[in-house]
């Protein structure tokens, strides 16, 4: 790993996919929740690119390509549009522009959500890689976003099921060489001893 790769500033794309929020019918809650959680969880400073767009597959694809290819985000988190309704096309758009799928992320997101709602099996969330960028589809509700990222905890704050973000720092290190970490009181990131600084 080069010194440049180690010292890069993490760049995160946040995409809220919602017909009504993008039309101003109500305020978007996805992007503010994601930003608040990242600020609480990450130990490093990071730059953010935000996009609020409608549930239109072509627009979602175009936005993801822009954030990866032009804006060079290391991580892109989408929120919304992951259910079985006809307008829910975020996973389809993500897979259409992806080089590789990361199925473990979708499996773990559903596993976490099943602790809270039986309808979690209706979610089509995916994780994928385009070039050197990890793209993750998160739920649309702020509470579900936090649960998915952080995992399931008991009344004493002990982790019962790990959140997906535990694996994100090491994944980014493997695909792009960037080194980031999390605050253990929010979520403890995991990487093998050989990959730790």
- Tens of pLDDT, residue by residue over 153-187, are 888 888 889 999 999 999 999 999 999 999 999 99
The answer to whether 183 and 45 are in contact (CB under 8 A) is no
Per-residue pLDDT reduced to its tens digit, 118-140? 999 999 999 999 999 999 999 99
Pairwise CA distance, residues 15 & 48, whole Å = 10
Q: How confident is the model at residue 3 (pLDDT cuts 50, 70, 90)?
A: very low
Among 2, 50, 19, which Cα is nearest to 179's?
Answer: 2
Residue 5 has pLDDT above 80, yes or no: no
Longest dimension (CA), the chain: 50
Q: What is the pLDDT of residue 2?
A: 42
Q: What is the pLDDT of residue 85?
A: 95
Pairwise CA distance, residues 154 & 176, whole Å = 34
Residue 73 has pLDDT above 70, yes or no: yes
The answer to whether 72 and 11 are in contact (CB under 8 A) is yes
Pairwise CA distance, residues 164 & 166, whole Å = 5
Q: What is the pLDDT of residue 142?
A: 93
Q: What is the pLDDT of residue 105?
A: 98
Q: Which CATH architecture has domain 3-195?
A: 3-Layer(aba) Sandwich (3.40)
Pairwise CA distance, residues 74 & 60, whole Å = 17
What is the secondary structure of 106-148 as a DSSP string? HHHHHHHHTTT-GGGGG----EEEETTEEEEEE-SSHHHHHHH
């Amino acid at each position: 790993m080069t010194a440049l790769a180690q010292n890069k500033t993490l760049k995160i794309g946040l995409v809220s996919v919602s017909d009504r929020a993008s039309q101003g019918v109500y305020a978007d809650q996805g992007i503010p929740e994601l930003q608040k959680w990242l600020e609480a969880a990450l130990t490093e400073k990071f730059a953010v690119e935000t996009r609020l767009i409608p549930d239109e597959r072509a627009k979602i694809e175009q936005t993801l390509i822009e954030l990866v290819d032009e804006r060079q985000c290391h991580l892109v988190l989408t929120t919304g549009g992951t259910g079985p309704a006809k307008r829910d096309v975020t996973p389809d758009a993500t897979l259409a522009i992806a080089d590789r799928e990361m199925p473990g992320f979708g499996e773990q997101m559903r596993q976490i959500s099943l602790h809270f709602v039986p309808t979690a099996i209706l979610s089509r969330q995916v994780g994928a890689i385009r070039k050197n960028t990890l793209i993750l589809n998160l739920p649309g509700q702020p509470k579900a976003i936090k649960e998915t990222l952080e995992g399931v905890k008991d009344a004493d704050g002990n982790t019962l099921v790990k959140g997906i973000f535990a694996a994100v720092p090491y994944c980014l290190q493997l695909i792009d060489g960037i080194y980031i970490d999390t605050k253990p009181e929010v979520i403890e990131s995991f990487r093998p001893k050989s990959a730790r600084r």
